Amino acid sequence: MSASAQLTNLLGLSVPQLESFCGEIGEKPFRARQLARWLHKNGVSEFAGMTDLAKSLREKLPAVACVQTPGIIHDNTARDGTRKWLFDVGQGNAVESVFIPETDRGTLCVSSQAGCAVNCRFCSTGKQGFARNLSAAEIVAQLWLANRLLGADTKGERIVTNVVMMGMGEPLLNYEQLVPALKLMLDDHAYGLSRRRVTVSTSGVVPFMDRLSQDCPVALAVSLHAPNDNLRDELVPLNKKYPLRELLDACLRYLDHAPRPFITFEYVMLQDVNDRDSHIQELIGIARHVPCKLNLIPFNPFPESGLLRSRDDRISRFVERLSAAGIVTTVRKTRGDDIDAACGQLAGDIKDRTRLAERSQSEKIVQWVPGRTS
């Protein structure tokens, strides 16, 4: 599956883009749909195996196109069945995808960037800084590879039923590559996932929330993490650019187009930082303004953060008081943390492998918190 620079990597082309590509090489538009089905539904990468394409096209394709995926550096399965892959995206950069099997669904957590420029206080991806945007092909390849490695058969039996853009990176800061990738996830000739089963998670890049609502309104999760501007400025530095009032108004505008009638607010629980009773009151105020569900995420510690996970009784108090106020509140289960696959533990710099290994040793000490769900 190697490629030279002149070849077009078909994995990243939405079906309309594949149609244009077919036009450019003198083929009819319907060939695009056939190609999409072979590539994405059947997971076939060899043109010779695409048996219902005209023989002349099968012979033409290798000179102009390729199907190229990142290499696999690690493939680990946790005790709870969570599976994590580390993919090589070149020049010392790597990104991670995590598959979370549940009885009624299989969720793939997909990365959008190598590193992240937003630099949230509690996030190990943020601590790495920003390396580069992934291409649409590199985003889709994570889903393509996961289906293949999980053993989806060639009839396209669904193993990954849901995609969440909650891996490394801020998806809305890689908008041009994100949208064709999302469109392929939704397209019936490709992965055919419903808009409710594809979620973009954002730290709150307001202008691109508006654009997404027009271009590809999938389910939206917003990383709130603080209920007032002073605290959010500290935890999510992007708040200085797009403060809460603007973010919440953008959520309301998004809801006019969203596939579900609520926004999911994510709220990482940090001991003595954002877990006080006064924060509960402020959160109730926000939830009165924006129809939402609240997903509390027990913080996954890493030593450099200097932060601790909220105590279990604080998390329970949040759930009780917010639920009593009529807000649907859930606590995210920590999955796959024995293989560093939990939220905010994704670290993808291969140059940094040694440090990563040291880190997971020290995490065994830090992660003593009782009541872990994994």
Contact 172, 208 (CB under 8 A): yes
Does 118 bind ligand SF4 (CB under 6 A)? Our answer is yes
x-or-dash pattern for ligand SF4, window 209-248, by CB under 6 A?
Answer: --------------x-------------------------
Q: What is the DSSP-derived secondary structure letter of residue 277? A: H
Nearest to 341 by CA among 78, 110, 132: 78
Secondary structure (3-state) at 307: coil
Contact flags string 154-183 toward ligand SF4, x per CB under 6 A: ---------------xx-------------
119 binds, among ligand SF4, ligand SAH, none (CB under 5 to 8 A by kind): ligand SF4
Give the total of residues touching ligand SF4 (CB under 6 A). 11
Binding mask 37-76 for ligand SF4 (x = CB under 6 A): ----------------------------------------
Antiparallel, parallel or unpaired: β 130-133 and 113-115: antiparallel
- Nearest approach in angstroms of CB 246 to ligand SF4 is 17
H helix runs in 256-374, sequence order: 277-289, 312-324, 353-366
- 69 contacts 56 by C-beta, under 8 angstroms: no
Nearest approach in angstroms of CB 266 to ligand SAH is 4
Which CB, 184 or 343, lies closer to ligand SAH? 343
The residues binding ligand SAH (CB under 6 A) are: 122-123, 166, 170, 201-203, 223, 266, 268, 297, 299-300, 343-344
Q: How far apart are CA 333 and CA 337, in angstroms?
A: 10
What is the nearest approach in angstroms of ligand SAH to the Cβ of residue 165? 6
Least Å from the CB of residue 170 to ligand SF4 = 4
Which residues are designated catalytic? 96, 343
Distance between alpha carbon 278 and the CA centroid of its chain, in Å?
31
State in angstroms the smallest separation of the CB of 67 from ligand SF4: 28
DSSP 167: S
Does 120 bind ligand SF4 (CB under 6 A)? Our answer is yes
Distance CA 149, CA 146 (A): 5
Q: Which residue has the tokens 């271009």?
A: 215
Supply φ then ψ for residue 159, to 5 degrees.
-110, -50
Decide: 75 and 97 in contact? Cβ < 8 Å: no
Strands 83-90 and 93-101: antiparallel
186 or 205: CB nearest ligand SAH? 205
Let me know the angle formed at the C-alpha of 42 by 13 and 199, rounded to the nearest 5 degrees.
55
Q: Which does 85 bind (CB under 5 to 8 A by kind): ligand SF4, ligand SAH, none?
A: none
**Which residue's Cβ has the minimum distance to ligand SAH?**
344
Indicate the residue among 97 and 203 with the shorter CB distance to ligand SAH. Answer: 203
Which stretch, 2-10, 39-47, 119-127, 206-214, contacts ligand SF4 (CB under 6 A)?
119-127
Residue closest to ligand SF4, measured at CB = 126
Candidates 25-33, 64-72, 87-95, 116-124; binding stretch for ligand SF4 (CB under 6 A)? 116-124
Supply the minimum distance, in Å, between the C-beta of residue 119 and ligand SF4.
Answer: 5
Retrieve residue 37's tokens.
């089905």
Toward ligand SAH, which CB reaches closer, 147 or 202?
A: 202
Burial 236-246 (b: 16+ CB within 10 A, else e): bbbbeebbbee
Tell which residue, 316, 317, 319, has the closest CA to residue 330: 319
> CA-CA distance, 154 to 302, in Å (whole number)?
40
Q: Give me the helices (H) in 100-186, please.
A: 124-127, 136-149, 175-186
Tell me how far, at minimum, the Cβ of 300 lies from ligand SF4, in Å. Answer: 11
Backbone dihedral angles phi then psi of residue 347, each to the nearest 5 degrees: -140, 120
Query: Between residues 116 and 322, which has the closer beta carbon with respect to ligand SF4?
Result: 116
Footprint of ligand SF4 (CB under 6 A) = 116, 118-120, 123, 125-126, 169-170, 203, 223
